[in-house]
């Protein structure tokens, strides 16, 4: 029988700062529990990185204290993208990496997630062992065995060089003007250097974090900002990253937004034509049906997983494939990384542009997406919409109206107190109406 998790969700532990468990008391105990589970003879070390939220200082200190109490050393990376922490955990031979971030959420949220020593999300059995340890009393090791803390000053430089290594050495971005929005998040001091050192002309946005402006008025959740800037500057493209740098949304030279499905198609097609794709592509239940059909036309296999990068990864491992992603812009290319990486994903798209000599707009034209409308309904807490008969009845009626010419997805978010309503079909007007009608029923029930 599988144990029920008390704290870990689909992507670590996340919530509003202050209430349990996103407070320093819990973080202290969590650091200790992680240290106890990972402790080994001869000593262990854990990397700690964070995004630019004001609460990151507090949680960094609490986790460091907990690890020290368990006899484990902390290597502090400071503000670094989530994928950088995965990479550095592997290359610095640490026993785990801890990320303090709530990704695309506002500054008043935060979270804690983990990577294994191989740079992957922690396996279920380790998360469960940590939860079991949290129920034990916190006992500090003798002073002779307390963990130390050191700062890794060259972490940004290491990661910048890694990102550049994923772009073909024979290519250059010289002559390309790029609008880059770092969302005032963890990539603010590394992403500009990556593209600049590859000889692009970079116009930077969202590179002045103050602890409160992460994801505010920019980034991958608000690509309209770079959309306007690309057109105003006559740029070749725009790149919008999220607060922790594991997602990317792009804008082409005509000001059209490319989401994760568009980018996944371009990357998959480029790797396929280069003969290095190795298998097919994993999407999720949210992936546009148009992507599935476009890949079929290219004779590229496709499989769907549940929503969430850990499920995409699990399906990739099951099938032995290397490329997968979500429409949100979270793309995993195991040929270069072990987790979603917004900078590396953007470089894969730029590589396709350089290899083919085509613009971003030209590359995406072969993907014709089905009309799709997504509506998010905010709830007071995480909640299962299928427990309400009114909602399930409304869902059934909406599916009957589609008459098999589309699909509807209704799901609770794994990271926020939201119910997501997605409708997809051939008729854009019908899709829009059905999505808002169904969302209206959900709003009435949760009100």
User: In what order do the strands lie in the sheet containing 418-425?
Assistant: 372-378, 418-425, 406-412
Distance CA 446, CA 387 (A): 12
DSSP conformation class of 279? S
Which of 103, 116, 220, 327 does the annotation list as catalytic?
103
Distance CA 314, CA 310 (A): 6
Tokens of 170: 């024979």
Distance CA 208, CA 67 (A): 31
DSSP conformation class of 307? S
DSSP conformation class of 220? T
Give the DSSP per-residue string, 126-147.
Answer: HHHHHHHHHTS---PPPGGGPP
Provide the sign of the torsion angle of the four alpha carbons 83, 85, 91, 96, taken in this order: negative
Residue 403 annotated among the catalytic residues of the structure? no
C-alpha atoms less than 13 angstroms from C-alpha of 70 in its C-beta half-sphere:
31
Beta-strand ranges (E) seen in 119-275 are: 149-151, 177-181, 201-205, 237-241, 248-251, 257-258
Tokens of 330: 């979270």
- 3-state DSSP assignment of residue 306: coil
Which residues are annotated as catalytic?
103
């Amino acid at each position: 029988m599988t144990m029920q998790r008390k704290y870990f969700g689909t992507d670590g532990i996340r919530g509003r700062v202050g209430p349990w468990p996103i407070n320093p008391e819990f973080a202290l105990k969590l650091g200790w529990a992680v240290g106890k589970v990972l402790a080994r003879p001869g000593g262990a070390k854990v990397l700690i990185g964070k995004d630019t939220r004001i609460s990151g200082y507090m949680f960094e200190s609490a986790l460091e204290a907990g690890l020290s109490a368990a006899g484990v050393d902390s290597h502090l990376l400071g503000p670094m993208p989530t994928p950088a922490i995965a990479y550095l955990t592997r290359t610095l031979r640490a026993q785990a990496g801890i990320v303090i971030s709530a990704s695309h959420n506002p500054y008043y949220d935060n979270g804690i997630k983990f990577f294994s020593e191989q740079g992957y999300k922690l396996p279920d059995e380790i998360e469960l062992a940590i939860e079991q340890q949290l129920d034990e009393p916190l006992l500090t090791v003798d002073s002779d065995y307390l963990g130390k803390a050191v700062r890794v000053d060259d972490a940004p430089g290491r990661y910048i060089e890694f990102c550049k290594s994923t772009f073909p050495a024979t290519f250059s971005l010289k002559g390309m003007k790029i609008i880059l929005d770092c969302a005032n998040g963890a990539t603010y001091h590394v992403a500009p250097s990556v593209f600049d050192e590859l000889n692009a002309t970079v116009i930077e946005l969202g590179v002045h974090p103050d602890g409160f402006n992460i994801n505010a008025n920019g980034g991958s959740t608000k690509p309209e900002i770079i959309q306007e800037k690309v057109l105003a500057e006559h740029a070749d493209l725009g790149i919008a990253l999220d607060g922790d740098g594991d997602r990317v949304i792009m804008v082409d030279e005509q000001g059209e937004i490319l989401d994760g499905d568009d980018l996944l198609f371009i990357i998959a097609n480029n790797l396929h034509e280069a003969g290095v794709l190795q298998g097919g592509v994993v999407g999720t239940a949210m992936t546009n049906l148009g992507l599935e059909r476009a890949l079929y036309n290219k004779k590229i296999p496709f499989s769907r997983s549940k929503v969430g990068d850990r499920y995409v990864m699990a399906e990739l491992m099951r099938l032995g494939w290397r490329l997968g992603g979500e429409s949100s812009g979270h793309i995993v290319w195991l040929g270069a990384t072990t987790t979603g990486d917004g900078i590396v994903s953007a470089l894969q798209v730029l590589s396709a542009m350089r290899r083919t000599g085509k613009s971003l707009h030209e590359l995406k034209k072969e993907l014709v997406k089905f009309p799709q409308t997504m509506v998010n309904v905010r709830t007071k807490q995480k909640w299962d919409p299928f427990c309400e008969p009114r909602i399930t009845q409304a869902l059934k009626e909406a599916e009957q109206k589609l008459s098999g010419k589309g699909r509807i997805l209704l799901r609770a978010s794994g990271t926020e107190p939201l119910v997501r309503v997605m409708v997809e079909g051939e008729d854009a007007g019908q899709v829009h109406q059905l999505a808002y009608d169904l969302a209206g029923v959900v709003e009435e029930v949760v009100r």
